[in-house]
Amino acid sequence: MQLLRIHYQKLFVCVSFVMLVLVVVRVWEGDDGTVATHQNLPGSLKIPEKRVSGVRENSINIDSPVLSASQHSGRGATKKKKKAAGTNTYTDLFQDMAKEEMCPLCFGHDLCEDVSAGFLTLASDTPSKQDGAAMYEAYLGDMHKLSVKVPLGDRFSRLDEAVCMNASLGTGCSVGSAAYRSFLARPQPLTTQVLHHLLRVVGIPRTQYPLLMCPSEKLLTVIERSFDDNDDHNLSQGERITLFTTLAIAPDIVVLKLLTKASLNVGFPRLVGVCGRLGVLEDEMTPLAFLLGEPFNVRASLAAQILTMVDDFMEDDPDWYLFYGSWSLEKLAVNKEGEVVLTDLASMAVVDKSLFRGDYEDGSENRVQEVCNKECFQKFTGEVYREGHDTEEICSRVEDVGHLMYAAVCAMILSDMEQHKYVDYFTSSAGLLHNIPAADRATVEELLAECVDEAAPGGRLQSAQELRDFLSDFLLDEDEEDGDDAAGNKDDDDGEDYDDDDYDYGEDDG
C-alpha cells in the first residue's frame, strides 16, 4: 500500500509539471501574437496621430486606409503576407540608403520614425534612374504608392570629405558629429557667397544651378525659413547644416520646401518628407510620354494643362515668378487626379518679382517690347549665369524673356510639325499634338508656329493663349457631343442627332 501511494504521488507530480509547461507555452504564444498584431498594424492607423502638429499643405492625406476589411482576407491576406515578407527583406537596405546617422549632414529626418517602425517600406530593391537620382518604389502602410529619391554621383562624398577636413578630423571621420565643428555650423545667414562656396565644394558649375539665377535677399530669407522645422523663427545649428546640405545636394527639395512655404502649388509632385539622405515624393504618376497614343481630345486636354501651367508659373503668385528652361516630354507626368505635373524641380529658378521693372505694373500687355526668339534667349541666358552679373539689372528683364517657356513647350512637347523637330536652341521628340483632326489642323499648326518663333512683339503670348483656349474648347465640344449622344439615346423622339462633320479625323470609323 505504501508503495502504491508513492507511485500516485509521482504520477501527480508529473501531471502537474506537464500542465505547467502547457500553461507557459500558451502564454508565450499569446505574447507572440500580440507583438505580431502590433507589427502588422497599417501605418495609416498610426501616422495621423504623429502628424497632427506638423501637417503641411503639400502632404498626402492619410487619414483612412485604402484597403477595405474584405480585402484583408482570403487571397488578399496571402498577398499581404508576401508583401510583408518582402518588406522585411528591404528594411536594412532602406535604412542603409537613408544613412540617418549622417544627420545633420542630410536632408532632415521627419520620416525616419516611419522607416524604422516599418510604416514606410520599399517595394523593390531595383531602382530606375531619373535626373541624376535612383528612384525606388515604396509604400506608406497599405495606402499610398510613393517614390523614394536617392541622389547619385559624388556630391555627398565631396561634402563629407570637406567637412572632415575642415573639422580637422581627417578623411573618413564621423560626419554626423564633425558637421557641428565645421564651417557649416557657423551662425551665418544664407548669402550668395555661402552658396557659391557650397557649389565649389561639391563641384557644381554655377550655370547648372538655376536656383541661383536671381538670388534676391527676400528669396534667400524665405529659403532659410523653409528649413525652420520647429517654427521658432530661428535656425538651430542642426537646421542650418541641413539647409546648407540640401542646397548643395538636392536643390529640388529646396524648391519644393520653398513653394510649400509660399503656399504655391502650380503643377509639382507633393513632397511627402525626408529621411537622412533621401527624399520621399508622391508617386502613382504616369509619364506623359506613355500617353502619346491616347485619343486626340485627351491629348488636347493635357496640352491645354501644360500651357496653363506656364501661365501659372508667371502669373499665379504676386511675389514669385517661376522660370523653367529644361522642358521635355520626359520631365512631365500625370498624377492620379489627372493633373499634369513637372517632375524636375532641380532646374527651376524662383525669381522675386520685386526685382522687375515698375513699368510692368500696368499689366502683361506692356511687358513685351521686341521680338524675342533664339538670339534673345541665348543672350539672356549667357548674361544671367555670368559670374558677377548685376542681379537687379539682369533679373529685372526676366519677364521680357519668360514667355520663351511657351516656345519651349510648343517646340519640344506639343508640336509634331517637321519644322520643329530640330530647333537648334531646343531639342524635340514626338509631339503631343500629332494626328490633329483635319478640320482643325491648319489652325493648330499656325498657332504652334507663332508660339515657337514669333513674327511680331507679343505674338507668342497671344498665340499660346489662343492655342490653350482652342484646345480647351475642343475638349468641351467633345464633352457636349457625348452629352448630346446620351440625351439622344434617352429620348429618341425629342432628341436630335449630333452633327459630327465638324471633326473630320480623316479616318474610316468602320
Structure confidence at residue 13 (pLDDT)? 54
Per-residue model confidence (pLDDT) at position 509 = 41
Give the CB-side neighbour count of residue 269, counting CA atoms within 13 A: 30
Report d(CA 411, CA 328) in Å as an integer: 9
- Distance CA(405)–CA(347), nearest Å, equals 13
Directed axis angle between helix 237-249 and helix 155-166, to 10°?
140
CA–CA dist 319, 36 (Å, integer): 52
pLDDT along the chain (510 residues), means of 10: 47 60 53 39 30 33 29 35 47 89 95 90 88 88 84 94 94 93 93 92 89 88 92 92 96 92 84 95 89 93 96 92 91 92 92 78 54 83 69 80 92 86 56 93 95 91 95 66 48 43 39
- 172 vs 102, 158, 163, 167, 226, CA distance in Å? 12, 11, 10, 12, 31
pTM of the predicted structure, to 2 decimals? 0.73
Task: Find out whether 425 and 378 touch, Cβ atoms under 8 Å.
Answer: yes
Sheet of 332-334: strands edge to edge?
286-287, 332-334, 340-342
* pLDDT at residue number 505: 34
Per-residue pLDDT, 483: 47
Q: Can you tell me the distance from the alpha carbon of 75 to that of 80, in angstroms, rounded to the nearest whole number?
A: 9
Angstrom CA distances, 410 to 290, 307, 329, 471, stand at 18, 9, 11, 13
Parallel, antiparallel, or unpaired: how do β-strands 332-334 and 278-282 relate?
A: unpaired
pLDDT for res 10 = 55
Domain boundaries, the chain: 286-478
Distance CA 111, CA 176 (A): 18
For 118, other C-beta atoms within 10 Å of its C-beta total 17
Return the pLDDT at 397. Answer: 83
Q: CA separation (Å) from 26 to 13, 16, 36, 58, 441?
A: 20, 15, 15, 48, 77
Cell numbers describing residue 452 = 515657337
| Fold designation for 286-478 | Transferase(Phosphotransferase); domain 1 (1.10.510)
Under DSSP, is residue 396 helix (H, G, I), strand (E, B) or coil? coil
C-alpha count within 13 angstroms, C-beta hemisphere, residue 212: 23
